[in-house]
Amino acid sequence: MALLIAAVIAAGLVAKVRADGFDALRREAALPIAMLVASPALFTLVALGRGRAILDTIIQSQRFVYVGAALTLPAIAVAVQALASVRRELALLIALPLFGVPGNVAEFNSNFFFNRDNFASEKDVILSLASAPLHDAGNPNPFPQKSPPYPESLTLPWLLRMHDQGRIPDREPLASEVERAVPVMLGISQGHQPRPAALVCGDERGPLSLTTVEGEHLALVEPVRITNASSAGRTLSVVYRPIYGELLEFRSDGLELRIEPESGRDRWRICRA
């Protein structure tokens, strides 16, 4: 579909130049062409600002797909209008972007991040921590702040206190793969604090394995998946994204971690001591 749209735009602009000349194209289509050129420029600047590997995430992110479509549609309209002046039947090409609408509408709720199912699963995990025999009430480790809907007051001590007061009922036990990920969720805090000078950014090849030392840090350059490597069996990976805080702090000792880029690339970057 992308190649077809590119071919239509190219053919239409050529037809416009042949029919009316380059001056007419510059006068009538300057803004649509500028918007078309701005699309890859925007994605490049966002990728440079957030880290190189986030470009893969941007390409697949719905909101950026919609921005790219909005920047491209005016150029498609100009191109189709020029082709229609050559052959009237080609005006039907204006409907080309509409072919993907039914499929996108059908997938909208399931792919949209802020949907009911997504929050229901997060709610189950968070409330289950209150009744899971994993930590004592004095544990100071905060629940990781990985997305804006989580308030700073959402901490494990608060959950345990609400459970003891009967305000949070007992929940079903966590699934085994989720329970194995809890030490990662509670053993790493994420925030926007300044990066310690001791951290050096460099390239990694393949997954990074390390043992945590309380108080030490990592700084994110790109989104990563962190897995509890000391636990046998299938384990849920916890995703940490720089947009929600570049600095990770280890809140416990001796946790064996496996860290790899969310993009799945073999070569990636992270900052560590």
Alpha-carbon distances, residue 172 vs 39, 130, 232 (angstroms): 47, 11, 22
Using CB atoms within 10 Å of the CB of residue 204, give its burial: 0 to 12 exposed, 13 to 18 middle, 19+ buried: middle
pLDDT reading at 108 higher than 60? no
Model confidence pLDDT, tens digit, residues 155-182:
777 888 888 888 888 777 777 887 788 8
Are 135 and 92 members of one domain?
A: no
Domain boundary among 111, 141, 171: 111
- Angular region, 243: left φ>0, alpha ψ -120 to 50, beta rest: alpha
pLDDT at 113: 53
Residue with the bigger pLDDT between 104 and 271: it is 271
Q: Are residues 224 and 135 in the same domain?
A: yes
State residue 139's pLDDT score: 44
- pTM tops 0.75: no
The reply to whether 241 and 181 lie within a common domain is yes
Instruction: Say whether both 31 and 60 belong to one domain.
Output: yes
Q: Are residues 9 and 79 in the same domain?
A: yes
Query: How many folded domains does the chain comprise?
Result: 2
Residue-wise pLDDT for 13-55, tens only, equals: 888 788 888 887 778 888 888 888 888 888 777 766 655 444 5
pLDDT(130) > 50: yes
- Mark whether 147 and 244 lie in a shared domain: yes
Which strands make up the sheet holding 238-240, listed edge to edge? 208-211, 256-261, 224-228, 238-240
**Percentage of the chain with pLDDT > 90?**
15
* Same domain (yes/no): 227, 127: yes
Please provide the average confidence, as pLDDT, over all residues in the chain: 77
Domain boundary, last residue among 92, 111, 130: 111
Are both 124 and 247 inside the same structural domain? yes
Instruction: Give pLDDT, residue 117.
Output: 63
Expressed as residue numbers, the domain containing 102 is 2-111
SS3 state of residue 238:
strand
Q: Are residues 134 and 237 in the same domain?
A: yes
DSSP assignments along 162-183, one per residue: HHHTTSS---PPPPHHHHTTHH
**What is residue 205's predicted lDDT score, i.e. its pLDDT?**
92
15-19, 89-93, 184-188, 217-221: which is most confident = 217-221
How far are the Cα atoms of 72, 158, 172, 179 from residue 209, in angstroms, in the given order?
Answer: 43, 32, 32, 20
User: 252: closest CA among 230, 221, 225?
Assistant: 230
Q: Which residues pair with 188 in a beta bridge?
A: 250
> Per-residue pLDDT averaged across 103-121, rounded?
60
> Do 61 and 191 reside in the same domain of the chain?
no
Q: How confident is the model at residue 118 (pLDDT cuts 50, 70, 90)?
A: low
142/264 same-domain check: yes
